[in-house]
Structure 1
Amino acid sequence: MSLIWLTLLLSAHLAECVPEKQKRSALNQLTRTLLRKYDCGVRPVHNWTSPTVIYIDLILQSVLDVDGKTQSITTSIWYRQIWTDEFLVWDPEEFDGINEISLSSDAIWIPDVIVSEFVDEGKSLPIPYVYVNSSGSVKYYRPMQVVLACSLEMYAFPFDKQNCSLTFRSWLHSVKEIDLALWRSAEAIANDKREFMNDGEWELLSIPSSYWQIRQDDTSYAHIQFNVLIRRRPLLYVVGLLIPSIFLMLVDVTSFYLPLSSGTRIAFKISILLGYTLFRVNLTDELPATAVNTPLIGVFFAVCMAMLMLSLIKSILVVKLLHHSEKEARQMSVSACLLDKYGSAAHSFTESALTSVRTLDRINGADYEFDASLEEDLLSLNEIPEVPSGLEWLLQELVSLHLAFSQEDSESSAQAEWLALCSKLDCFLFRFYLLVLASYAATLLMLWASWSFA
């Protein structure tokens, strides 16, 4: 009998030493219960005629890139989808008061809501879980970096505004199966800028939203569109592009005050043109590239270069006219007559002297009257067959000097009048240049102002 009691005591002690088998946790039991007979390929409604309403919310975090050449915009958004899954409902009291759990997004039904303007998915972090509460509400939150196709208007760069849309729709399901709605009010979404990184190049104006249905093949599809309205901050481009160009144009305008006869105006204007060309080449990457139309700033740079070319051509024309007059004056000078006189006889000297007198009469017939007796003396000298004596030679020298000084005075007077005429022409062209430049600047400012304050 004692042996039996000893065996029972030993068995009880060994039973106490063996650990009790642990029960599954309430969370594990709830997950297994919900997903045991769940089919992720079936829309989660008990009545197939009732649509599943997908509530959508959007928060814009930043604008990463705007590419005018490819007509695309890269944005970072926080995207939320909320819907009711009628197959994921439980009583919290049966599972230790658990009211919300996270489930794998691959294990449950996910709506096929896409963005119509979607081009490429950027560096978005995958979120493999969704939150489900006891009433069957599913919350699917995703941070996304997306590249969207957008019709960019770069004409008013750098004072441009852009309107890019994100249109959410179901790819296959009609409105009878999947309907869309806003999780928050349209006003709250439009004015929500709390998460936007407002220190970059772009400023967020608003995000208006709208809902509509489009009918295709006798079937209606629900759409929700968010319009992202952004405006570029132009300070960087004004300081880096516009102001240096304006400075170069002002330097070109002041170069008109250089004297025409100095010969440095053309070289100075060529230096300005070369400097402006180098400036444009270095800043080519800063300008937007579009294949449809030319931005207004591109027109600005092209017209500025055209104005510099026009200024250079005008200066070349005026200087050419001025030096053309000097060349003619040299051809009509008396020095050629004096050289002929020293190397020829009295006959050739008299002919050159008469030619100089007639030329002088043609140039300045009103200011200078040649004495007729002097011409008779020259003709009488021509009749002397032998070599002139000392007095006759001295007379010829005096007549030659008189003609030379008279011709020089006449040339100086004509040159002064021609210089005054060229100066008046230069002043007229300069005023015309200023008028064209002012008209262009006023037109450009009006266009930019109309786009900036629109």
Structure 2
Amino acid sequence: TSHRWLKDRDEHSGTPLTGSLLSTGRGDIFTINCSGFDWHGVDPAVFQGVFARNSFRPVLDYNSPTHVNISFTLSAILEVVSPGSTLQWSSGEQWYHPFIRWNPEECGGIRHLSIATENLWLPDIFIKEFMDVDQTPTDLMAYVNSEGQIKYNKPMQVISICNLDIFYFPFDKQNCTFTFSSFIYPAERMVLGMEKEVQEILNMSQNLIQKQGEWVLLGIHQTASKMTVGTNQYNQIVFYLAIRRRTRLYIINLLVPSSFLITVDALSFYLAAENDNCAAFKITLLLGYNVFLLMMNDLLPASGTPLISVYFALCLSLMVVSLLETIFMTHLLHLATTQPPPMPRWLHSLLLYCTSSRRCYPTDPQKGNKGLGLTLAHLPGEGSQSRKAELNGFPGSTRAQQEDRAQKQHLVSLWVQFSHTIDTLLFRLYLLFLAVSVVMVVILWNT
């Protein structure tokens, strides 16, 4: 069989024609011979004339533009990391081919045909933000109807540039832009339009998108504009995708453990400062928090400084401050019970004012009783000396020595009481700073 492209005049209407198309200002009719259609399929020779012209834009008048309508359906958001995003979608292109028309009633009722894309002219639509090699399969099919409308759908895995703002991670919302444009044909040769309404594209995408993914599709917006390159202008359609991250994974794995550890560190202030294991406990807690950060580092964004990293750094700093406070209190108590220095008069007056009027930061009841209830037995070596003195009736002791011991005991009691007051003050400042920091972080996340 030979491939034929028939061009007949109006007066040849007696010849069986499958369809007709009148070019502007001409009386010519372009038809496809219906003899190539039968019950066993379509003879490829019928379209040989069309296939031979697949290198040229299919128009009757080359000065008239080709209208290409585009659409897409988002099926999965695979990954969104700076500086790019990976999405899986199916894009569609639809245009009119004036040289492919037939009458279905005369051609065995055939209304649609599938034709290999390698035999057709395809619009050179590309995505400006595309940052990887196009891996779309080449052996795809296009669908043609009897009116000459061609619809070409192709599945794509798009890896594109997407400017991410990860400051509010994991409660962030991102906006990715995808610009469809022609690379070769300017606006006077190709006009881009929409095949479907944006709301229809959004509804189909939300129904198809994988629910178990990390991201949720919030909305799609579209604008049409023109891009100027040199002296030419190119039509382009810009889609704006609004997506939101699902936060449950990060709340359970990041925020909850961190909150538990910082709460335990805050409660460790209730441990007695005289306890030798207090510093060891806080060191263990600090090491555990560092191990937690190392294990959860893969969940954090690879670039940028999100707010959650500031929160983790703040928690770590508070733990270090808590450890330093324990070391300082241990040293102060050790100094107060071994070699207490003379207490300045202003400090003594301030301590009496705070403990008597309770206007400052009152001493913790458990710690304060320990400070006020000290006896000679609390002093290193004094307990055995006092007991010997009681058994021997204070032989060789003088009234001056007893007064020195009493003054030393009173001085130790004052310094211990001062230490516990400072401990309570630092604890409340710790709680105040922690509460203010957490509230500020929450407010920033909610804005």
Q: TM-score, normalised by structure 1?
A: 0.75
Q: Which runs of 5+ in 1 are unaligned?
A: 1-22, 331-394
Matched, 1:214 2:227: yes
Indicate which of 415, 418, 432 corresponds to 1:418: 415
Q: In structure 2, what is the equivalent of residue 274 of structure 1? A: 287
Report if aligned partners of 2:144, 2:150 keep a CA contact under 8 Å in 1.
yes
Deviation at 1:412, TM superposition (A): 2.1
**Matched residues in 1 for 2:394 and 2:97: separation?**
124
Deviations 1:397-431 (A, max 9, x none): 83336555443333222111110001111111111
Report if aligned partners of 1:165, 1:226 keep a CA contact under 8 Å in 2.
yes
1:237-248 alignment to 2 at 5 Å? 237-248=250-261
Structure index of larger Rg: 1
Pair 1:185–1:243, CA change in 2 (3 A): same
Q: In structure 2, what is the equivalent of residue 257 of structure 1? A: 270
Indicate which of 438, 443, 447 corresponds to 1:446: 443
Q: In structure 2, what is the equivalent of residue 179 of structure 1? A: 191
Q: In structure 2, what is the equivalent of residue 61 of structure 1? A: 75
Deviations 1:280-339 (A, max 9, x none): 11111111111xx31111111111111111111122112212212233159xxxxxxxxx
**Matched residues in 1 for 2:36 and 2:104: separation?**
16
Deviation at 1:141, TM superposition (A): 0.9
Pair 1:323–1:122, CA change in 2 (3 A): farther
1:101-180 alignment to 2 at 5 Å? 101-121=113-133, 124-180=136-192
Question: Residue 47 of structure 1 aligns to which amino acid in structure 2?
Answer: D
Matched, 1:48 2:76: no
Structure with the higher helix share, 1 or 2: 1
**Matched residues in 2 for 1:81 and 1:224: separation?**
13
Report if aligned partners of 1:190, 1:209 keep a CA contact under 8 Å in 2.
no
Deviation at 1:443, TM superposition (A): 0.5
Q: In structure 2, what is the equivalent of residue 429 of structure 1? A: 426
Deviations 1:366-414 (A, max 9, x none): xxxxxxxxxxxxxxxxxxxxxxxxxxxxx99833365554433332221
**Matched residues in 2 for 1:412 and 1:260: separation?**
19
SS of structure 1 residue aligned to 2:228: strand
Pair 1:253–1:205, CA change in 2 (3 A): same
**Matched residues in 1 for 2:405 and 2:46: separation?**
119
Report if aligned partners of 1:54, 1:81 keep a CA contact under 8 Å in 2.
yes
**Matched residues in 2 for 1:117 and 1:147: separation?**
8
Q: In structure 1, what is the equivalent of residue 27 of structure 2? A: none
Report if aligned partners of 2:340, 2:415 keep a CA contact under 8 Å in 1.
no
Question: Residue 432 of structure 2 aligns to which amino acid in structure 1?
Answer: L
Q: In structure 2, what is the equivalent of residue 409 of structure 1? A: 406
**Matched residues in 2 for 1:124 and 1:219: separation?**
29
**Matched residues in 2 for 1:151 and 1:413: separation?**
68
Q: Which runs of 5+ in 2 are unaligned?
A: 1-34, 342-391
Aligned residues between the structures: 361
Question: Residue 186 of structure 1 aligns to which amino acid in structure 2?
Answer: V
Q: In structure 2, what is the equivalent of residue 336 of structure 1? A: none
**Matched residues in 2 for 1:113 and 1:319: separation?**
73
Report if aligned partners of 2:116, 2:140 keep a CA contact under 8 Å in 1.
yes
SS of structure 2 residue aligned to 1:194: helix
Pair 1:188–1:442, CA change in 2 (3 A): same
**Matched residues in 1 for 2:256 and 2:405: separation?**
51
Question: Residue 72 of structure 2 aligns to which amino acid in structure 1?
Answer: L
RMSD after superposition = 2.4
Report if aligned partners of 1:189, 1:208 keep a CA contact under 8 Å in 2.
no
1:332-371 alignment to 2 at 5 Å? none
**Matched residues in 1 for 2:193 and 2:423: separation?**
71
**Matched residues in 2 for 1:222 and 1:329: separation?**
85
**Matched residues in 2 for 1:316 and 1:437: separation?**
20
Indicate which of 90, 99, 112 corresponds to 1:87: 99
**Matched residues in 1 for 2:48 and 2:175: separation?**
44
Report if aligned partners of 2:116, 2:139 keep a CA contact under 8 Å in 1.
no
Indicate which of 77, 86, 108 corresponds to 2:89: 77
**Matched residues in 2 for 1:401 and 1:258: separation?**
40
Question: Residue 132 of structure 1 aligns to which amino acid in structure 2?
Answer: V
**Matched residues in 1 for 2:301 and 2:107: separation?**
60
Q: TM-score, normalised by structure 2?
A: 0.76
**Matched residues in 1 for 2:273 and 2:315: separation?**
23
Q: In structure 2, what is the equivalent of residue 374 of structure 1? A: none
The percentage of aligned residue pairs carrying the same residue is 33
**Matched residues in 2 for 1:251 and 1:166: separation?**
48
Q: In structure 2, what is the equivalent of residue 398 of structure 1? A: 395
Report if aligned partners of 1:161, 1:231 keep a CA contact under 8 Å in 2.
yes
SS of structure 1 residue aligned to 2:212: coil
SS of structure 2 residue aligned to 1:174: coil
SS of structure 2 residue aligned to 1:101: strand
